[in-house]
Chains A and B, each alone.
Chain A
Amino acid sequence: MKKLFITIVALFIFQLGKAQTAEETIRKVKAKLEKVNDYQAEGKMKTNVIFIKAPVAKVKVYYKKPNKLRINNEQGISFIPKGSVNINLNNVFVNTEGFDIIDLGKEPGTNFRIIKLLPKDETSDVVLSTLYIDEVQGLIRKARTTTRDNGTYELEMSYGKFAEYGLADKVSLVFNTKEYKLPKGVTFDYDDGTKKPAEDKMKNRKGKVEIVYTSYTINKGVPDSVFN
């Protein structure tokens, strides 16, 4: 009986310790991200969506606390996914009422800590975030965000020069897309005999946008007019 009691207490203390560790990890990541009030970054954006054939675009990314983000292609045209605001990781923590934190332990192979954040605010657009955190560097390496209106977004980051601010050198955003179709009577397409992607591929409703940043200007001020 005594042994059982000691085991239960030990397990409880162990779990408690683990929860604190997850909170600490989140706090560490958040502290890094909070160093950035605003930034203006330049980069190259690659769009990989089954029904869009687009060139690599030179883009400017503007961010301002708490969750303003804009991607501009100033020389040409780019189709920006709706969930692009999520490429700014601070967006995950924008919540007035805090989160419930669930620690799922470490990912085999990478050793990243997997932490789920459940916003307490029921009106929040983000309903669930799963973060894969590199605890040694205090950086989010992968994130999966489920939103109320716009489906699920998956992010993958790699870091370099701006890791101390939690800003990635390369971000990949995977998002859901709807099927694209226009009536042939409107487009009058020319059938040049090129084989179309397989039907199941066309129904693959995942799109991917990859931004490779070349420079960041951090905390130098970004006018609000940029976001209009």
Chain B
Amino acid sequence: MMFQLLQIELFKIFKRPRTYIAFGAIAAIVLLIQVALKFDGQSYMDLLLNNLKESFVINENLKSKILNGYLICFVILNTLLIQMPLLVALVAGDSIAGEANMGTLRLSLTKPVNRTQYILVKFMASVVYTVMLLVWMAILALFGSMLLFGTNDLIVLRSENIEQMRGFDVMWRYFAAFGYAAVALSAVAALSFLLSVLSENSIGPIIATMSIIIVFTILSEMNIPIYDDTVKPWLFTTHMVAWKGFFYVKTDADGVTIDGSIQNLPAIMRSLAILFGYIVLFTGTATWIFRKKDILS
């Protein structure tokens, strides 16, 4: 029954033209970044490697080696995962509120399905859509960039240090990062879904989700002593960037990286658990509200 309902919900999602806006937007942004870096990547590398110029030989050969498909994908993920919540909210925020707006919600609930099943299926459909967006992005950003720029070691330039991974040690990290991003974006979908239950039109939840994400992201980036240890660790936006943890490597006593290692896996797992907690909290609250709600439209 649940599977049949899910199929119906997915059919509804993918029947709507607006669903494809997200796929088109991702394709356009990824392609633009790839084209820009293909033609002006050297200037981008100059900007990032400027600090190293005085101590190390930074020549064209090194810059073109660093600017490989793996780095391009990292840059795209860094840029797009900030904008992806909007694309997720477009569908998740519309799932209940859109039906209410069109006046089909009451009709849908006349079917012999309980409200919990109905709302969980709606949420699952949003998660499937989110995962499909990520798969689309992985195909374009990772495999597309590998095809266009080739592969080499991955250099991740952090604010205070540089992480280097050998080429053969990169792919599994991307799979793990995309998996993590799916959970992070599902948390956004859950938030948008909760707001959708509270609203009668879809614009409200979409804008509200984006506003919350923007404000919380700013809060997550701020460094205020007491707040750093109390509030910040519990903001879900703080943990949305934890996919990057898969690209931070351990070193031995001599400072040499250990292949296949992750600097702080327990921290990533903790971030993952917090995101799952938010998903349960948002979806649970949405279900509780929806079960008690007077459906008038």
Contacts and interface: CB of A to CB of B under 8 A. Distances in A.
A100 to B, nearest CB: 30
A82 B56 contact: yes
B264 to A, nearest CB: 4
B159 A181 contact: yes
A76 B167 contact: yes
Task: Point out which of A48, A185, A188 has the most chain B C-beta atoms below 10 A from its C-beta.
Answer: A188
A193 interface: yes
A202 B254 contact: no
Contacts of B62: 77, 79
B46 interface: no
A181 B157 contact: no
B224 interface: no
Task: Point out which of A76, A192, A207 has the most chain B C-beta atoms below 10 A from its C-beta.
Answer: A192
Contacts of B243: 190
Given A76-B167, A192-B242, A48 B254 contact: yes
A176 to B, nearest CB: 7
B178 to A, nearest CB: 15
Contacts, number: 126
Interface of B: 48, 51-52, 54-57, 62, 65-66, 78, 82, 152-153, 155, 157-167, 221, 238, 241-245, 248-249, 251, 254-257, 259, 263-264, 267-268
27 contacts: A47-B256, A51-B161, A51-B162, A52-B162, A53-B161, A53-B164, A54-B162, A55-B165, A76-B152, A76-B167, A77-B66, A79-B52, A81-B55, A178-B55, A179-B51, A180-B52, A182-B160, A184-B159, A187-B159, A188-B221, A188-B241, A189-B158, A189-B241, A189-B244, A190-B244, A192-B242, A192-B267
